[in-house]
Amino acid sequence: MRSEHDLAYEQRVQTRIRIAYFLTLLAFALLFLRLWLLQLIEGDNYRRLSENNRIRTQIIKSPRGCILDTNHKVLASNRPSFDICLVPQETGRAAEVLQDLAALVQCDVSPLKEKVRQARGRPPYEPVKLLADVSRDLLALVLTHKLDLPGIVVETNPVRHYPSADLACHLLGHLGEISPQQLQSPAFAGYRPGTFIGKSGVEQMMEREMKGTDGGYQAEVDATGYKVDIMGRVDPVPAHNIILTLNADLQQAAEDGLAGKTGAIVAVDPRDGRILAMASSPRFDPNLFSRTISAREWGELINNPSRPLMNRCIQTMQPPGSTYKLITAAAALSEKEITPESAFFCSGSLNFGARAYRCWRKAGHGTVALERGIVESCDVYFYQLGIMLGPDRIARYARGFGLGDLTGIGLDEEKRGLIPTSDWYQRRYGIPWQRGESLSIAIGQGANLVTPLQLVMAYASLANGGKLYQPFFVERVETADGKLVNRISPQVRGNLPLASETIKRLKECLFKVVNTPSGTGTRAQIPGGDVCGKTGTAQVINLGRDSRSPRDSHLQDHAWFVAFAPKDVPRIAVVVYVEHGGHGGSASAPIAKTIISRLFELEGSGV
């Protein structure tokens, strides 16, 4: 017979067995419940995550459209760039990976972390660009250590390349990374962070045409992230190419003419307004902006006192000097204030009010009528015309020539210039127009401000017989395989407010400026070339006649020369502006001669 002790022990064992049995059943129930949840409730989600671990979506960027000159010489194209990126979903220790990568490539980890921080909110499978356009040596180093850098991938993308470096850099413009503010704008719908877009020049103006449409593919990858198979692919849609009116050879001649100088040259076809060359000096290399420009490089550009990023063709505003005398003469003839034979005596100065207004020739020119006044650029002759006309009538004709207003070239940076009137003077200074100012503006000094582009378009309108064209530099838009998308047609802005006889007479005077011994522009003379032109000297500061010396170079006058050729059937109009160059006849006219001669050579016509 079992004892009470045995019965108690047996009951305890049975109780433990039942508890164990119950716990086992509970464990199996929980296990089956979890399996049920994983397979039936969350199965689709985990299946998707599994696929994402195995399949990676890769963007194929569409190469940016090329920019070519009128003869199809490539001015801007693309080259491959190797970028180091991080795929967030492929690493569970992003901070550690970034630290290891920074140590490997010997860079500061802070910018890498900032780029990852800015990418928060984007799909985790989308690569975040950490290092752009790395060298092949750095690329090999990263690939060698790829197993130690989970989530780090290499992308190959097209990057902008300018094969001729700084040739026509101001007209072509440059790229820059799209800003957060632009990404929020409807105008940039479809753009992604890190995209480089046009920031100036042709690159900005033709951004939409040169953008293209990105493609992509799905790739099966192994545990190390290497592609095993391509699952699906959508090819990118190529961008359009831009064909410019620019002639690269003529552009090179213009830039060679400005070598070592600060200034601008614009050459146009007077027959329709197309830009043949547009050079601004000093220049910059737009290749610097095709990647993320360093703080040091950016500082060197913006702190350079010569302002290499400034397009002086459309942004510098200076008094036009004696080139403006043509406008004053046109106004005086059209307003019947003078005839071509009306003469004034120049003794070397003109007393007006309490001041003596000097002529550039200290000994004077003697008796001067229209032709000699323009050919020898007599200041006293034009002082007299200024007194007769006053500011408002001169301004009306200046605006008729397109001065004091945007030319319509389409570049955002273009300046308007300034043509003063009596109303402007009253608003600006709070007093009525002072009559002495009429003498200054009549010779292109005082408050007159023009850009080189405005001035050359004004002379081009005289050259072609009176049509003021809107300048343009895009000739046509083509597909990547050369099919025409759009051809740009010339646009007439207006007509000169001059009689045909007045235009003919003024052209004859400009011809004699260059082609007679007493003319101020003889250094632009091309035998048989029929060059017509006008010199100009814009005063920087009123110095004594003998005080200008090399140590005062920053106070030297600005040198202008504007010309067109041939006289009767002009094919080119060109302006040369040399900052602190001194006299237009000696500093700028020879450069204009070289450019005009080069065009004749390129056309194979000699002259």
Residues marked active site are found at 322
Rounded Cα distance, 600 and 569, in Å: 13
Q: Which ranges in 288-404 belong to alpha helices (H)?
A: 295-302, 312-315, 325-334, 370-375, 379-400
User: In the 8-state DSSP scheme, what is residue 418?
Assistant: B
Contact 533, 592 (CB under 8 A): yes
Counting beta carbons within 10 angstroms of the beta carbon of residue 206, is it exposed (0 to 12), middle (13 to 18) or buried (19 or more)? buried
Angle at 316 between CA 312 and CA 319, to 5 degrees: 135
Q: Scan for tokens 């646009």, then name that residue.
A: 491
Query: SS3 string of 487-543?
Result: ECCCEEEEECCCCHHHHHHHHHHHHHHHHCCCCCCHHHCCCCCCCEEEEEEECCCCC
Write the CB contacts of 37 (distance below 8 Å, at least 6 apart in sequence): none
Q: How far is CA 498 from CA 32, 381, 382, 473, 532, in A?
A: 98, 21, 19, 28, 19
Say whether the peptide bond before residue 305 is cis (omega within 30 degrees of 0).
no
Longest CA–CA span in the chain (Å) reads 158
Write the CB contacts of 45 (distance below 8 Å, at least 6 apart in sequence): none
Write the CB contacts of 78 (distance below 8 Å, at least 6 apart in sequence): 63, 64, 66, 158, 159, 160, 161
For the record, the structure tokens of 252 come out as: 């090179």
Q: How far is CA 256 from CA 168, 182, 483, in A?
A: 12, 38, 34
* Cβ count within 10 A of residue 594: 17
Nearest Cα to 252, choosing from 190, 169, 135, 367? Answer: 169
For the record, the structure tokens of 183 come out as: 């990404």
Element (H, E) at 205: helix 201-205
Contact 534, 563 (CB under 8 A): yes
DSSP 173-192: --EEEPPHHHHTSGGGTT--
Rounded Cα distance, 505 and 242, in Å: 40
Q: Scan for tokens 């990568």, then name that residue.
A: 101
User: In the 8-state DSSP scheme, what is residue 449?
Assistant: B
Nearest Cα to 75, choosing from 245, 205, 274? Answer: 245
* Cβ count within 10 A of residue 391: 25
Q: At what angle do helices 452-463 and 500-515 cross, to 10 degrees?
A: 110
Strand 263-268 to 241-244 pairing: unpaired
